[in-house]
Structure 1
Amino acid sequence: MNAHVMAAAAYGVPNTAYKTPRTIEYELISKITARLSAAVKADPFIFANLAEAMHENRRLWVELAIDLATPGNQLPDQLRVQLLGLAQFTLRHTDQVLDGKDRADVLVDINLAVMRGLSGKAGGA
């Protein structure tokens, strides 16, 4: 067994496919949204699953807000402001859901809308 084969066996074959930042964001939001959606549709008495999924979604939106507020962010100013508004709404709404004052469906809808934008399908479903 030569060194290359041993390295491939030990570390796996490298993924040579390049993913753009947009693709990575889409995949991350998709994963979190799927988990949140499943928790919303599950038995409402399994609050721990919903709370965990909402915490993960909150972490996502906090990170997005930090990135959007960074001076080096290259998105157009108007889009940055709109997305920061969504982040603020999402964080506030998360608190309301966790307090039992609202439903989480709208958070799934927001994430799906962002995913459509990232995929270039903002105008369609």
Structure 2
Amino acid sequence: MNATTLAHRGYAPTAAPLKSARRAEYEVIARITSRMMSALQAKNFNGLIHAIHENRTLWRKLAIDLADPENLLPDDLRARLIYLSEFTEQHSRKVIAREASATALVEINTAILRGLK
């Protein structure tokens, strides 16, 4: 190996480019939504409970971020998303109690995914 090749290797990027925050959010929401959909289709209640737990955790974290005064989203959008977080929490309880279907949770996440694209 010559010095030029060694220099190129030495100064070449060592990691893949970082994802944008929007792309990372999209991937997390898509993964969780896919798990909920798969569990619904397979009629796998235990799998659905695990996916709902992930979804609730996600929405709680989103709500914390949205409540931060330094969040740059418009106030109206932040309020709507916080409402969705509250709805998700309440509806998840109903699904776990077998009083409602998880379809609404999937639809909410799907709408958010469309907005992120």
**TM-score normalised over the length of structure 1:** 0.81
Q: CA deviation at 1:116?
A: 0.4
How far did 1:14 drift?
A: 1.3
Correspondence for 1:23: 23
Give the letter for the 2:111 counterpart.
A
Amino acid at match of 2:54: E
Displacement of 1:19 in angstroms is 1.7
Residue 40 of structure 1, CA deviation: 1.1
1:36: Cα distance to partner? Answer: 0.9
Structure 1 unaligned spans of 5+:
6-12, 120-125
1:14 aligns with: 15
Aligned to 2:89: 91
Percent of paired sites with the same residue: 45
Q: Secondary structure in 2 aligned to 1:22?
A: helix
- CA RMSD of superposed structures (Å): 2.2
Partner-residue secondary structure (3-state), 1:72: coil
Q: After superposition, where does 1:73-92 map in structure 2 within 5 Å?
A: 73-92=71-90
* Runs of 4+ deviating beyond 6 Å: none
Task: Name which one, 1 or 2, has greater alpha-carbon Rg.
Answer: 2
Task: Say which of 51, 67, 70 aligns to 1:69.
Answer: 67
The answer for the alignment partner of 1:57 in structure 2 is 55
Query: Residue 10 of structure 1 aligns with which residue?
Result: none
d(CA) in 1 for partners of 2:28 and 2:21?
11
1:101 aligns with 2:102: no
TM-score w.r.t. the length of structure 2 is 0.86
- Paired with 1:58 and 1:91, the residues of 2 have a C-alpha distance of 6
C-alpha displacement of 1:47 = 1.8
Instruction: Write 1 or 2 for the structure with the bigger share of helix.
Output: 2
